[in-house]
């Protein structure tokens, strides 16, 4: 299924704000068919995610794996770690120097080092979807399909404002990761979701919703480093795939990719109205774009919860009888 965590070294990298980084570790995992034997699906992880997308502990194992909608019996699945997420031990302290486009460029450099010239699909949720948009804008011919889920090609003012509050918590709280996660959970879910789940229930004077928030704060505090959270929050506030272009349609005008935008009807973080505007803008420019919507009371986190709906949306893209008839996507060489 997987050959474990591997890494590439990216040297002399220059960020969007013109900061030179001598060396950056870019780690990744491969699942399914060997490189060169099958179409490649690149999965971009979300804020607290990592490259471990399938298997017993895979964060998207309901969708990626043998016999799943992204079937590792037919596809090569590749997932990079966002450098600095801590999963591979590599940390970035000068996080202010990075935006989402920098990560997209690092992923493109990683693909180049792996001699991958064409992808079948780039798919990602939340921050991972934003990086997917950035990758397509930088390399419009790279992929046959783009699937951004519960995401956007830009950080809206609402998102920037939430990230600002997260940054204040991360920089000023006595228990920053814990407190930031508690706040974030209120953006990831909805009032309806929490009201229906807890119904003001309490245990010895403590409301169950408070225990739930405490649980999520402790879980992340125990597994996620402060430097990683600061970086990811910075990236989330700095998504702009249309940068240096008049608009997103201009940025993607040369792509032939089919774009499948997946929104969530109750998403408070990446609101579905923005996704619908993007669909209309790109369709008016002649691009191949579709919009599908997960119906859920749970808000942004629905892309990690409503697996049956998401699988139904993705199934037409990942039909294995279509994929296995595609030409081989890469001429693989050993990583350096």
Among 201, 235, 269, the domain-final residue is: 235
Which sign, positive or negative, has the C-alpha torsion 220, 225, 227, 228? negative
DSSP 87: T
Q: Are residues 16 and 123 in the same domain?
A: yes
Checking if the pLDDT of 325 tops 90, the result is no
Mutual angle of helices 208-223 and 191-198, in 10-degree steps: 110
Checking if the pLDDT of 2 tops 60, the result is no
Pairwise CA distance, residues 119 & 141, whole Å: 9
Checking if the pLDDT of 33 tops 60, the result is yes
Query: C-alpha angle 88/92/93, rounded to 5°?
Result: 140
Report, as an integer, the average pLDDT of 275-295.
Answer: 97
Q: Are residues 142 and 20 in the same domain?
A: yes
Domain span holding position 217: 158-235
Is pTM, for the whole model, over 0.85? yes
pLDDT score, position 326: 46
Provide the mean pLDDT of the chain.
Answer: 93
pLDDT digits (tens, 9 = 90+) for 124-150: 999 999 999 999 999 999 999 999 999
pLDDT digits (tens, 9 = 90+) for 140-193: 999 999 999 999 999 999 999 999 999 999 999 999 999 999 999 999 999 999
Among 218, 235, 252, the domain-final residue is: 235
Among 235, 267, 283, the domain-final residue is: 235
Checking if the pLDDT of 321 tops 90, the result is no
Nearest alpha-carbon partner for 267 in 193, 169, 163 = 193
Query: 197 in a domain, yes or no?
Result: yes
Query: 1 in a domain, yes or no?
Result: no
Q: pLDDT confidence of 204, banded at 50, 70, 90?
A: confident
């Amino acid at each position: 299924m997987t050959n474990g965590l591997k890494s590439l070294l990216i040297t002399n990298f220059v960020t969007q704000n013109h900061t030179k980084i001598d060396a950056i570790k870019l780690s990744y995992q491969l699942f399914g068919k060997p490189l060169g034997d099958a179409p490649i699906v690149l999965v971009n992880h979300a804020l607290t995610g990592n490259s471990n997308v399938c298997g017993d502990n895979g964060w998207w194992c309901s969708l990626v794996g043998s016999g799943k909608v992204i079937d590792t019996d037919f596809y090569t699945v590749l997932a990079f770690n966002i450098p600095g997420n801590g999963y591979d031990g590599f940390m970035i302290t000068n996080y202010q120097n990075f935006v989402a486009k920098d990560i997209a460029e690092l992923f493109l450099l990683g693909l180049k080092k792996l001699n991958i010239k064409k992808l079948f699909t780039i798919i990602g949720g939340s921050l991972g979807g934003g990086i997917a948009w950035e990758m397509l804008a930088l390399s419009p011919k790279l992929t046959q399909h783009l699937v951004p889920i519960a995401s956007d090609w830009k950080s809206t003012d609402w998102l920037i404002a939430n990230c600002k509050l997260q940054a204040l918590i991360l920089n000023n709280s006595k228990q920053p990761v814990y407190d930031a996660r508690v706040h974030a959970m209120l953006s990831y879910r909805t009032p309806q979701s929490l009201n229906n789940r807890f119904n003001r229930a309490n245990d010895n004077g403590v409301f169950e919703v408070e225990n739930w928030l405490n649980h999520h704060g402790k879980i992340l505090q125990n597994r996620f480093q402060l430097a990683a959270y600061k970086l990811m929050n910075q990236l989330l506030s700095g998504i702009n795939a249309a940068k240096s272009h008049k608009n997103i349609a201009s940025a993607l005008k040369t792509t032939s990719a089919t774009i499948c935008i997946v929104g969530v009807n109750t998403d408070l973080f990446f609101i579905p109205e923005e996704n619908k505007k993007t669909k209309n803008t790109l369709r008016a420019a002649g691009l191949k774009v579709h919009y599908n919507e997960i119906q859920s009371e749970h808000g942004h986190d629905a892309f990690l919860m409503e697996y049956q709906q998401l699988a139904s949306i993705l199934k037409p893209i990942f039909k294995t009888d279509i994929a296995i008839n595609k030409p081989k996507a890469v001429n693989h060489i050993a990583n350096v």
